Amino acid sequence: MSEDSDVPTSVEPAASGRKLLVRKLLLAFGATLFTLLILEVFARIYVAKIADREHFTKYASLADYRERIGGQEWWFGLLAPHRYLGYVLAPNLVDGQNRHNSLSFRGDEITLPKPKGEFRIVCIGASTTYSLLVPDYHRSYPALLEGELKNRGYKNVTVVNAGVPAWSTYEMLISYLLRVQTLEPDLIIVKEAFADLACRLVWPPSAFKGDNSGCLSPTFVARQTSFYESSALIRILLVESGRSLPVSSLGKSVYNQAETAYFFEFARQRFGLKYPSGIFTTVSVAQMLNANPPTYFRRNTEDLLLQAQARGVKSVLLTFPYSPEIPGYFGVEGFRSALDEHNGILRDIAAKLGVPMLDLAKSFPTDKRYWGFDGIHANEEGTVLEAKQVADFLDRGQLIPR
């Protein structure tokens, strides 16, 4: 056999081997793709049909929220845009055991004008006043406070829940002027410190300004989710690995931060066990907080109380309780001391303005049984205890006429 006749015999096995390799790669790719599709189907079924409220909140997409809650309001039905406040609670929300009234407050409808003889209390604050971890609005701390007071003989008392998630004293002051005064309150109970601490996590220090523009961007619009978040499987993997906040996080969806704000990046890193990384490798949380003192927190809180006094409305201040037993935020140097600093300011303000103050930061237990996952938000057992302590304080101080 000539040399020319041997060439095809050597080429054919090589070509056949390449074809076989390509077929194997295609089969492996197809099997992998099929497996991922099956996992995606199961992930979607789990999120939409099986997951409890906690895990649904953690893994759901915007579309999942719209399907379950319905409506066209912002942030899955919970929030609605507002010209001066960025957002308020969505009015007329009914979501399982949760409810917002037509005036955009959590709870039952509020009678206006206020009926003769009614003593009206308005609880002002953020998510801890709203009682975000408590799905039944009847079990929020303001609703339980009303029940406690009525059980003690104050039959003419109504308590309004004016808490809105992620609001700071900036929004609380504006809301008092534009919304709460309309309710004709006889007494306001003010509780906030944590959200204002978040407003201080901005860098460089020149961005820390009295109008909060270093923390929040000029407009509040619902953010577009990334294309990969349409996959339930990818969402679950990203959230569990700490590489992404849940879509339900305000920081992920509607709470539009300025480019100089870093609180939600800090939260993502802490709960994803990635801290410190990014900017925090060069500028620590403690450095940011030290560079940006709580000047505006003091100013806003004092102005809110002075506005109430000018209208003849009584005020009560609550310091901000938390549980350092839950490391989350409190395992980072400077965070706990900054929150304690805010509580110290509240004590100073109460003494300066003669405002009664319940020091919840000292009286409320740090035991994990009363707290949610972050040591900031009370669970259902915690809201019961908080309502009781506030009722005891109001009763002892004779701050409500019988």
Secondary structure (H, E, C), the chain? CCHHHHHHHHHHHHHHHHHHHHHHHHHHHHHHHHHHHHHHHHHHHHHHHHCCHHHHHHHCCHHHHHHHHCCCCECCCCEEEECCCEEEECCCCEECCEEECCCCCECCCCCCCCCCCCEEEEEEECHHHHCCCCCCHHHCHHHHHHHHHHHCCCCCEEEEEEECCCCCHHHHHHHHHHHHHHHCCCEEEEECCHHHHHHCCECCHHHCCCCCCCCECCCCCCCCCCHHHHCHHHHHHHHHHCCCCCCCCHHHHCCCECCCECHHHHHHHHHCCCCCCHHHHCCCHHHHHHHCCCHHHHHHHHHHHHHHHHCCCEEEEECCCCCCCCHHHHCCCCHHHHHHHHHHHHHHHHHHHCCCEECHHHHCCCCHHHECCCCCCECHHHHHHHHHHHHHHHHHCCCCCC
| Residue-wise pLDDT tens digits, 146-176 | 999 999 999 999 999 999 999 999 999 999 9
Residue 267's CB: how many other CB atoms inside 10 A? 19
At residue 16 the predicted structure's pLDDT band, cuts being 50, 70 and 90, is confident
Between 342 and 216, whose confidence is greater? 342
User: Considering the chain, what is the average pLDDT of its residues?
Assistant: 88
pLDDT score at 73:
42
pLDDT at position 33 over 80: yes
Domain ranges of the chain: 3-59, 83-200+293-396
Between 313 and 3, whose confidence is greater? 313
Percent of the chain's residues with pLDDT above 70: 88
CATH number for the domain formed by residue range(s) 83-200+293-396: 3.40.50.1110
pLDDT score at 74:
46
pLDDT at position 222 over 90: no
Residue 291's CB: how many other CB atoms inside 10 A? 15
pLDDT at position 72 over 50: no
pLDDT score at 228:
64
Global pTM reads 0.81
User: Lowest-pLDDT range, 58-62, 102-106, 194-198?
Assistant: 58-62
pLDDT score at 75:
56
pLDDT score at 131:
95
Compute the chain's Rg from CA coordinates.
27
